Amino acid sequence: MLKATIYFMLYLIGLGFDEKDITLKGIEAGKKCEKCYAELYTSDWKGDIKNIEKLIGKEIKILERSDLEENLDIWINEIKDYNTALFVPGDPLVATTHIAIVDQALRKGIKVKIIHAPSIISAIASCGLQIYKFGKTATIPWSGQVENVAKTIEFNKQHGLHTLLLLDIGMSGEQGLKILLSKNIITEDTDIIVASNLGRENEKILFCKAKEIKNFPSPCVIIIPGKLHFAEKEFLELLRCGNDRKRA
Amino acid sequence: MLKATIYFMLYLIGLGFDEKDITLKGIEAGKKCEKCYAELYTSDWKGDIKNIEKLIGKEIKILERSDLEENLDIWINEIKDYNTALFVPGDPLVATTHIAIVDQALRKGIKVKIIHAPSIISAIASCGLQIYKFGKTATIPWSGQVENVAKTIEFNKQHGLHTLLLLDIGMSGEQGLKILLSKNIITEDTDIIVASNLGRENEKILFCKAKEIKNFPSPCVIIIPGKLHFAEKEFLELLRCGNDRKRA
């Protein structure tokens, strides 16, 4: 007698920055699934999940951090006999906590497919800095524990590399800078790039001195440029505070 | 008399890895434009542009490298009085050559909007390595001039960082490795990750020794892991050559 093994599929589907950043692949995968979930705690996603529900024609259950971390086993058991979609902000697995979900699913014999979407990691190319000249990335946490951030910036700077600083959930550009300034990691005259709502309708990118920024709400990133190529320098001047040849 | 300034918009629209990686934003922007172009020379895009034409209901003219590099002025003049879409593989501006297009457009008073899409830069998170532990990226060129690649790998390794190696257009994993081996940058026993067709139907990711890889066609990337966190190590073992608990 032949014994067939049936594999169910878990799709991790990227949502990008807001509800219109989902790809055709993402919509198609969502339509195939019997169970649909979303987590919106790893990033500040600006969209209405109801619109994603309309696109795939199904209800989506919102999961909390505890469902996917402390109680991951329970969730994996819940989905193991179904094709399942888990919608996540940005590009899945960039939030490193999701690796554990994939790992557990594979160990239970569930196949996993990643459906990619826009991510801050490549979208920062919008600032005009060459993506391959970025060094290690760091996150400014609400705790204000920035020893690691200081080390990363210094190390990258020493080697001419740009540093992408992600800000903790809900942290504005001003709040992030205040932490860096209070720890003397940068001065008020340090040239930085601030990008708020990258990839969204209300995107705002500015090249300026730290003291010049105001009104850069969350989600926001700060970039400390390393050694600038002349093409990078020229482009950054277009984003310079006060220059009116601004991007749309 | 009031004088109104009309700004036309140039949309750089990311196509991701193939024809189903376009986002809803990308389709919407394409529909708004009077002129539509695509360039497919900066990356090995796996799709049929005819399907993108169907989605936006318009013809798309394919541009060559010379149109957008040597003759950029001519093209900018052609589009300056229209809303224009330029479709590009991956996430726009990750191909650093496109910065010049944005720069020129802004200087001519054309507004520019970037529509993001999946990119190899974040999709490599699929390999289970933490994205913020990647150092500088390098490209293996067909010329075999790999001094910069060697330096980048050594530097990243010294500091425990992972190295993403992009391969020149059309280069297979085997061909890329052959170059690294012939220059003694790695040995046959070096542990590497190879990822072919990342984000596409025929995606293939393997963690193995350099000598074990075969049949990793273009588009392909190679990753030289730095210091591994135990979670990274555990996950990579699932992708290990010979392990049958593979990803879908």
Which residues between 205 and 244 in chain B have a beta carbon less than 8 angstroms from any beta carbon of chain A?
231-232, 234-235, 238
Burial of residue B230 (CB within 10 Å: 0-12, 13-18, 19+) is exposed
For the record, the structure tokens of A68 come out as 């996917």
The 10s digit of each residue's pLDDT in A194-228 is 999 999 999 999 999 999 999 999 999 999 999 99
DSSP state of B171: -
The average confidence (pLDDT) of chain A is 93
The 10s digit of each residue's pLDDT in A73-108 is 999 999 999 999 999 999 999 988 899 999 999 989
Chain A residues in contact with B123 by the CB 8 A cut-off are 91, 114, 116
Q: What percent of chain B has pLDDT over 90?
A: 88
Of A114, A134, A245, the CB nearest to B106: A245
Q: For chains A and B, what is the number of CB pairs under 8 angstroms?
A: 185
For B161-193, give one letter per residue: b (16+ CB within 10 A) or e. Answer: bbbbbbbeeebbbebbbebbeeeebbeeebebb
For the record, the structure tokens of A1 come out as 């007698």
Out of 3.90.79.10, 3.40.50.2000, 3.40.50.720, 3.30.950.10, select the CATH number for domain B121-238: 3.30.950.10
Note the pLDDT of residue B240.
Answer: 83
Helix (H) or strand (E) holding B207: strand B204-209
Whether chain A has a CB inside 8 Å of the CB on B16: the answer is yes
The average confidence (pLDDT) of chain B is 93
* pLDDT grade for A7, boundaries at 50, 70 and 90: confident
Instruction: Indicate yes or no: CB of B25 within 8 angstroms of CB of A24.
Output: no
CATH superfamily of domain region A9-118? Tetrapyrrole methylase, N-terminal domain (3.40.1010.10)
CB atoms within 10 A of CB A77: 10
Among A247, A145, A133, which Cα is nearest to A201's? A247
Which residues between 30 and 89 in chain A have a beta carbon less than 8 angstroms from any beta carbon of chain B?
none
Among A93, A100, A114, A34, which Cα is nearest to A67's? A100
User: What is the average per-residue pLDDT within B66-81?
Assistant: 96
pLDDT surpassing 80 at residue A150: yes
What span, in angstroms and rounded, lies between the C-alpha atoms of A64 and A47? 17
Helix (H) or strand (E) holding B242: none
* List of residues 6+ apart from A81 with CB closer than 8 A: A8
B90 forms bridges with which residues in the sheet?
B16
Note the pLDDT of residue B238.
Answer: 86
* List of residues 6+ apart from A66 with CB closer than 8 A: none
* pLDDT grade for B7, boundaries at 50, 70 and 90: confident
Of B91, B102, B138, the CB nearest to A123: B91
Of A20, A23, A137, the CB nearest to B16: A23
Distance from CA of A1 to the nearest CA of B (A): 23
Of B9, B20, B135, the CB nearest to A23: B20
Note the pLDDT of residue A87.
Answer: 98
* pLDDT grade for B87, boundaries at 50, 70 and 90: very high
By the 8 A CB rule, do A190 and A209 touch? yes
User: What is the average per-residue pLDDT within A112-116?
Assistant: 96
What span, in angstroms and rounded, lies between the C-alpha atoms of A22 and A24? 7
Instruction: Indicate yes or no: CB of B121 within 8 angstroms of CB of A121.
Output: yes
By the 8 A CB rule, do A81 and A8 touch? yes
Distance from CA of A193 to the nearest CA of B (A): 16
Chain B residues in contact with A19 by the CB 8 A cut-off are 24
Cα B38 from chain centroid?
15
Give Cα separations from A186 to A209, A241, B82 (angstroms): 10, 18, 43
Note the pLDDT of residue A243.
Answer: 64
Chain A residues in contact with B199 by the CB 8 A cut-off are 114, 116
The 10s digit of each residue's pLDDT in B133-174 is 999 999 999 999 999 999 999 999 999 999 999 999 999 999
Tokens 């950043």, residue? Answer: A21
User: What is the average per-residue pLDDT within A13-22?
Assistant: 97
Chain A residues in contact with B92 by the CB 8 A cut-off are 125
CB atoms within 10 A of CB B198: 20
Whether chain B has a CB inside 8 Å of the CB on A24: the answer is yes
Instruction: Indicate yes or no: CB of A112 within 8 angstroms of CB of B16.
Output: no
B16 forms bridges with which residues in the sheet?
B90
* pLDDT grade for A240, boundaries at 50, 70 and 90: confident
The full DSSP string for chain A is: ---PPPPPEEEEEE-BSBTT--BHHHHHHHHH-SEEEEE-SSS--BS-HHHHHHHHTS--EEEPHHHHTTTHHHHHHHHTTS-EEEEESBSTTSSGGGHHHHHHHHHTT-EEEEE----HHHHGGGGS--GGGB---EEE-TT---HHHHHHHHHHHHTT-BEEEEE-TT--HHHHHHHHHHTTSS-TT-EEEEEESTTSTT-EEEEEEGGG----PSSEEEEE--SPPHHHHHHHHHTBTT-SS---
The 10s digit of each residue's pLDDT in B89-137 is 999 999 888 999 999 999 898 999 999 999 999 999 999 999 999 999 9
pLDDT surpassing 70 at residue B246: no
For the record, the structure tokens of B51 come out as 């399907």
For the record, the structure tokens of A25 come out as 């692949």
Distance from CA of A157 to the nearest CA of B (A): 13
Among all residues of chain A, which has the CA nearest to that of B107? A245
Structural domain boundaries in chain B: 9-118, 121-238
pLDDT surpassing 60 at residue A145: yes
CB atoms within 10 A of CB B233: 12
By the 8 A CB rule, do B205 and B195 touch? yes
Among B118, B174, B200, B43, which Cα is nearest to A23's? B118
Of B106, B116, B123, the CB nearest to A247: B106
Same fold flag, A9-118 and A121-238: no
- The number of C-alpha atoms within 13 Å of B42 and in the hemisphere containing its C-beta is 26
DSSP state of B132: G
Note the pLDDT of residue A242.
Answer: 63
The 10s digit of each residue's pLDDT in A62-73 is 999 999 999 999
pLDDT surpassing 60 at residue B245: no
Which residues between 155 and 184 in chain B have a beta carbon less than 8 angstroms from any beta carbon of chain A?
155, 159, 161
User: What is the average per-residue pLDDT within A173-201?
Assistant: 96
Which residues between 96 and 155 in chain A have a beta carbon less than 8 angstroms from any beta carbon of chain B?
96, 99-100, 102-103, 106-107, 109, 111-114, 116-119, 121-123, 125-126, 128, 130-139, 155
